[in-house]
Structures are given as structure tokens and as C-alpha cells.
Amino acid sequence: MNLGLGGLFWVVLQRDLMVAMRRWSDICNPVIFFVLVVALFPLALNPRAEFLRALAPGVLWIAALLAALLSLNQLFRADIEDGTMEQLLTLPYPLGLVILAKTLAHWLVTGLPVVVVAPMLAITYHLPADAIGILLLSLLIGTPTLSLLGSIGAALTAGLRQSGVLLALMVGPLMLPVLMLGARATDIALSGDDPTGPLYLLGALLALALSLAPPAAAMAIRISAD
Amino acid sequence: MITFNNLFQKRILVQDGAPPGWRFREVELLTGTGLTLWRGANCLFDKLSFSAAPGGALLIRGPNGSGKTTLLRVIAGLTLPEEGEVHGNGAPLSRRDESGRHVMAYCGHATALKPDLTTLENLRFFARLSGYPTDSLGELLAASGLVACADLPARVLSAGQKRRAAFARVLMSGARLWLLDEPQTNLDSAGRQFLERMLQEHLATSGTAVIVAHQAVDLGSAPTAVLQMGETA
Amino acid sequence: MSEFFAMGGYAKYVWSSFGVTAIVLILNLLAARRQLRQTRERLQLRLVRQSGRKVNT
Amino acid sequence: MWTWFFQLASPPHFYRMAASLVPWLLWPALLLILVGAWGGLVLAPADYQQGEGYRIIYVHVPSSYLSMMVYVTMAVAAGIGLIWRIKLAHAVAASCAPVGATFTAAALITGMLWGKPMWGTYWQWEPRLTSELILLFLYFGYMSLRSAFNDLNQSDRASAVLALAGVVNVPIIHFSVLWWAGLHQGPSISKIDAPSIAFAMLWPLLVMILGFTLFFLGILAMRVRGEVLEREFHSRWAQDVLRGVSRVEAA
């Protein structure tokens, strides 16, 4: 076949991005939700600078995790409903790669905007510049892991009618290590210590998720499409 | 007038390294043996066997809920049977042949069109996946009567037009095994003729087709077997 | 004897721990029995309905 | 050898065997648990640091051990069911979840009851309790996914994928919780110094663990019977069992 594996990856990625671009509101929703959650804390708790600064790593990471959970529901749902998944399943290509391309597309349109907006929100929490850098880095390594873990859950629930809370319940506990490491890395940077340890661990989790999540999600999507 | 063979010939020209005449070589004998599947407490089929020779068609008939669609999905490998296997020439049905081509084209109830993409964009995606030259998409659209809606988003297409687009996808795949689930649904008489002509040419070139159909399909002189479902074994 | 039950001042915690665990064990036993019985009744009902309709095989 | 194995794994034989196995598991389990409780509550001496309060470990440790052991059993069974498409394995996985969840809850509650006199508070975000809490969520996720499907076959396979994803995550969660807790507090009071534990304290614990394990296996055998019957409903032997005319049942 003319289309190699790289070509397959690219074709699927490009198509998913194109579909996403036609639906601007869907792309914006997770980011708006992220901003909203982050904005709730100073309003509900206490807007003092030193208090917010101590809160910032945790709040930003929790909001990023919630935004990721919220957006996951749609990852494979449309493809299952309109029959695209049947076509992808009967193709002679490794399904894991297709899943990986779709997950990357999903992260680019929902995860990446969150990562981009996060530093601006961190400023409103009076976070110092070097801690913001670490926050950005930890989100950049951590949120793709969240999307990959979420792809398993999204694949399992893609055929179910009501799945929002179920998805969060299933995938949430699996995402906790990422949350703990990411928030802690930023926290360590905030207190002036060296955060490379948790960042390396986050990288290791990303590598693990990259290799294990797509085949698991592929297995799950075959079951959901059955 | 463009015939479908023309479309295929064009593909052969762009296919590098493919053996000459590969479209016409001996094609697999499709067989299903001892297929058994239960859905909850209902038995859809029990120890079902069938075969379809190259150049021949297998029509699956039966009342609603008798498991026709499920059987087609089993052949496509979308649904796992509890027992039994689907074979091509005695070996498990692979998804691509030696020349790297797709073995099967599945056309289910859902048309796999993204409502927000135009017809052309939708088809281009599948063309790229199956290695069909994207510059001949225009001819394919003309042949399937979709020129007028090529640049319309798929959501405004009528049900019949969507089905024609799905047929165009089947044609692009160049697969020797076609699995069509009630292909006549929503088609006008011209669409029906288009479908029948497309099937006749496919079968005449040693293709195989498994069709779930309620109405009669004119397949010309092609040998046709009928599999009646939903009767006590 | 009362010294034993007093558990050196920890009575509340020790006895409620053992109590909770005992309840969990007993509940597991009852739930397992109920599950088997209910499954059986449900399947028997399904069997009766099915033989009434006389479908498949 | 192999014929024996296949006979064992065939659903009707398993159904019959499980029934005869139940009393052989549950009665010794009861005996062991009573002996262990007597040993733990009466025979074992009080701890020089924690006084009589340490006796909670005789129910806490077996519960938390089971909570993890059951999860691993469930995941292994789910994996076997998924790969070799064995319904019996799926039945085992399905039976594990509710049992494991209740023991996780028991481990959490007894852990909290131990924490109140030792830490002065019921809840401390320390690694064991935190891991146990996350494990409880994993069980809940598994069970609610299982109940979300209408088709049992689909439900079996989908929840198996989740169980496998969960079991890969369990050590990751465990170590990240350990690492995370290490940052926050000094070394928490170790419950018992493992090497120096007196034999008089240790044997009731081991007896309890064995008793709990046998109890779990007994409950598992009971539950698997129902699950097997459900999955084999359309087979001849299961219908005979249901009609009450079966030799399988009589034996």
C-alpha cells in the first residue's frame, strides 16, 4: 500500500484536526472550563497573594485534570456513532496507531490550549516566573499522559449512552499519579528547590502511557464497536 | 461514459510494483464454518456455514432481528463469533493481500461521513487510506452522481446521496470482498441502477459480494447463493 | 474479664474494628448466597418464558 | 493430566465442584478466623508502645491484604478471560469485584479506627490509607463500568480491559503515594517493627490471613456458580440445572 504507517498517522491526525476546526465551540469549551475552575478559588476562598501562591500548583493542576476529564467523553463517540470507527476497524492497519493519532489530535485541540493559558492564570495567582516555567513544563509533559490514560476510558464508554460521570470515576484514579507529580513539581519549584525529580518521573509516566495506552484503547474500542 | 473498470485501470497505472493483471488473478474463496453467536438469551445463529466463490454473490435474507447485520459484521471481523471462523481460501481472513490492498470493503447502515466535512473532503480521507489516487476523485464523484454536492458539507446531503458516497468509498477501496448491509435503502431508481451496475462489474472481475438485502438485486449472470436466516435449524 | 473487654482503654476502637470486620464477613456471605439464589430465580423465569415461546433450537 | 485440567475448567464440572468446595473452604475459614481472633485478642501480649490498641491489626492487615490480593486475582482472571476468551475466567473476575470492594472498605474503616488513638485523628493522609482509598475508587469504577453494559459478553470484555489498566496502575499509584507522602511528613509511626515482632504476636496474624484467604475463596466459589450459570444459560446442562433435573446439581 502506498500509505506507510507514518502516512496513516498523519492522514488520521490531519482529518481529526480538520473536523475539530469546523467546530470551534467544542475546542473552546475545555479551556473556558479550565479558566472558570481556576477563577472560582480566589472568589470562594481568599484572594490574598501569599495564600493564592501556595494554592496555585494544586488548583491549576486539578483544573487541568478536570478539563481533560470533561473533554474525553467526545474522543471516540462521534466516530462510533457515524460509522467511521467501523471503517477504521476493517482497515488493514494497526489500530493502536490510529488511536494514537486520534488521541494526539484530541490533545492538540483540548490539552494544548489549557497548557498555553495556564501561565497567564498562574500570574493571577502571583506565581513567580521560575515556578511558572516549571508549571508549564509539567503540564506539557503531564497533560498528554492524561489524554492517553483517558483514551482507554473513552474507548470503553464510547458505545454507552450516559458516560460522563462513569468515565470520570473510571479514569480519575488512574490519573492521580500524574496529578500528584505535576502539582508537586510546581510546588517544589515554588519553594526554591530542584524539581527535576518529579519531572523525570512525569516523563517516565508519559513514556509508559505512550507505549501501553494505545493498544489497550484499541482493544477497548473493538469491544465498544461490537 | 466512465465505467468502473476505467476507474480501476487508472488505479493499476499508479500502483507501483503491483503484479500486472493483479486485479484479475484468482481471488479467495470466502467460507464461514460453524458460526455460533448468542446475544443474551437469543441465539442469532447456531453452527451456521456458508461459502461464496470469486465472481459470485451471497445474499443474506431474513426477517428483522434474525441476525443478518450481525452475520455481516462477523464476516467483517467487527463482531467476534462465539464459535466458528471466517476463512479466505482456508486461512483466517486477513485484512490485506500480498500486494498490500484492502481485502474487504464494509458498507454498514452508518455511512461514515463526518457531517462537518464536505463530501469531497470525506472521500479524500478514505481515498488516502486506501491508496486511491486523489486526482481521480472527480471522475468517481461523477460516476456516483455526486458532483453537485461535492463541496457541500455532508450534513446537508440526503440519505440517498450519503449512501452513494458510501458506495464511492467501496469502489475506492478496490477490495475484492464487498460486504454491503441493505445497500438499497434510501436509493432512487437511478441509484439502484448505479448499485446494480457497480455490483455486476465487481462480480464480473472476480470480486465477491455478500449482500444483506430485502428486495431483489439484479446481479446479471453472476452466480448467486441465498442464505436464509431466522429459521429453525 | 472486664479488664479484657476494656482493652487497656482502647475498647471502643478495638471492638468496633472487630465488629466492622465481622459485619463485612457476614454480609459477604449473605450477599453471595442471595446473588446465587436470585440469579437462579431470574434464569428459571427466563427459561419458562422461553419454552413458552418455543424459539431457537 | 490435561484431560483432568479441561474437565476441571469445563463449566458444568466447575459448577458442581465449586458447590462441593464451599463447605470445605468456609468451615476451616471460620475456625481459623476464630482461632486467630482468640490468639490476637487474648494470647498475644500488649505492645510496649501501642498497648492493647495494636490488636486492630489482626483485622486490618488481613482486610487490606485481601483488598489487594482480590484486585490482582480479578485482573489476572480478567486477562485470561480476555486473551483466551474463557467465560469461566470472566465469571471469576466478576465475582471478585464486590468482595474486594467490601474488604477495601473494611481495611479503610479499621485503619481509621486504629488511627484515632494512635494519631489522635481518624484520618491522616498517609500512604497506606491513601492507597487504600484509591483502590476503593478503582473497584467502584470497575463495578460501575460492568453494570453500564446491557450485553454480558461486552461487559465482561470491557471491564477486563479496565481491570488490566488498573492493575498496571496499582504499583504506580502506590509508589507515587509513598513519594508524595514522604515529602509531607516525617516517617510515620510504623505500625509494628517487622523484624522484632514477637512470635506470640505474629502467629495469630498469619492464622487470620490464612482464614481470610480461605473465606474469600469460599465466597468466590459461591459467587462464581451464579455467574457461570448466567453465562452458560443457553447450554443444555445449565437449563437442566435450572429445571432441577440435573445430575450436575444432584451431585
Residue D152 to residue D230: CA distance in whole angstroms: 9
pLDDT in tens, D93-114: 999 999 999 999 999 999 999 9
Q: With an 8 Å Cβ cutoff, is A170 touching chain D?
A: yes
Q: What is the DSSP string of D81-115?
A: HHHH--HHHHHHHHHHHHHHHHHHHHHHHHHHHHH
Residue A92 to residue B93: CA distance in whole angstroms: 11
Average pLDDT over residues D29-41: 95
Range of the domain at B148: 4-228
Residue type, B138: G
Residues from chain B contacting residue C50 (CB–CB below 8 Å): 41
Residue A199 to residue A222: CA distance in whole angstroms: 34
The predicted structure's pLDDT at residue B22: 38
- Identify which has the larger pLDDT, A79 or C2: A79
Q: Which domains does chain D have, with CATH numbers?
A: 14-250 (1.20.120)
The predicted structure's pLDDT at residue A189: 92
- Identify which has the larger pLDDT, D207 or C47: D207
Q: What percentage of chain D carries pLDDT values higher than 90?
A: 60
Q: How many CB atoms lie within 10 A of CB B98?
A: 10
Closest CA to A103 of A115, A114, A95: A95
- Say if the Cβ atoms of D233 and B41 lie within 8 Å: yes
Can chain B be said to touch chain D, i.e. do they have 3 or more Cβ pairs within 8 angstroms? yes
Residue A17 lies in a domain: no
Average pLDDT over residues B124-129: 92
Q: What percentage of chain C carries pLDDT values higher than 70?
A: 88
pLDDT in tens, B40-67: 667 888 888 888 888 889 999 988 888 8
Distance between the two ends of chain B, CA-based, in angstroms? 48
Smallest Cβ–Cβ distance between C24 and the set D103, D113, D230 belongs to D103
Look up cell 463517540; give the residue: A77
pLDDT of residue C57 exceeding 60, the answer is no
Nearest CA in chain C to B47: C57
For chain B, the residue count is 233
CATH (domain of B160)? 3.40.50.300
Q: How confident is the model at residue D8 (pLDDT cuts 50, 70, 90)?
A: low
Nearest-Cα distance to chain A for B15, in Å, is: 8
pLDDT in tens, D56-98: 999 999 999 999 999 999 999 999 999 988 899 999 999 999 9
Q: With an 8 Å Cβ cutoff, is A194 touching chain D?
A: no
Number of domains in chain A: 1
- Say if the Cβ atoms of B43 and C56 lie within 8 Å: yes
**Neighbouring subunits of C (3+ Cβ pairs under 8 A):** B, D
Number of domains in chain B: 1
- Say if the Cβ atoms of B108 and A86 lie within 8 Å: yes
Range of the domain at A140: 25-224
Closest CA to B117 of A16, A101, A91: A16
Residue A11 lies in a domain: no
Q: How confident is the model at residue B15 (pLDDT cuts 50, 70, 90)?
A: very low
**pTM (global) more than 0.95:** no
**Which ipTM was obtained for this model?**
0.89
- Say if the Cβ atoms of C57 and B41 lie within 8 Å: no
Query: Crossing angle for the helix pair A5-21 and A24-44, nearest 10 degrees?
Result: 70
Q: How confident is the model at residue D5 (pLDDT cuts 50, 70, 90)?
A: low
Q: How many CB atoms lie within 10 A of CB D70?
A: 26
The predicted structure's pLDDT at residue D74: 97
- Say if the Cβ atoms of D138 and A172 lie within 8 Å: no
**Helix or strand or coil: residue B83?**
strand
Long-range contacts of D170-175, Cβ-Cβ distance < 8 Å, separation of 24 or more: D170/D68, D170/D71, D170/D72, D170/D135, D170/D138, D172/A177, D172/A205, D172/A208, D173/A173, D173/A176, D173/A177, D173/D131, D173/D134, D174/D127, D174/D131
Q: How confident is the model at residue B20 (pLDDT cuts 50, 70, 90)?
A: very low
Average pLDDT over residues A122-128: 94
From the number of C-beta atoms within 10 Å of its C-beta (0-12, 13-18, 19+), residue A107 rates as: buried
pLDDT in tens, A102-114: 999 999 999 999 9
Residue B233 lies in a domain: no
Average pLDDT over residues B94-119: 82
The predicted structure's pLDDT at residue B216: 83
Residues from chain C contacting residue B233 (CB–CB below 8 Å): 57
- Say if the Cβ atoms of B169 and A225 lie within 8 Å: no
Nearest-Cα distance to chain B for D7, in Å, is: 19
Residue B181 to residue B110: CA distance in whole angstroms: 10
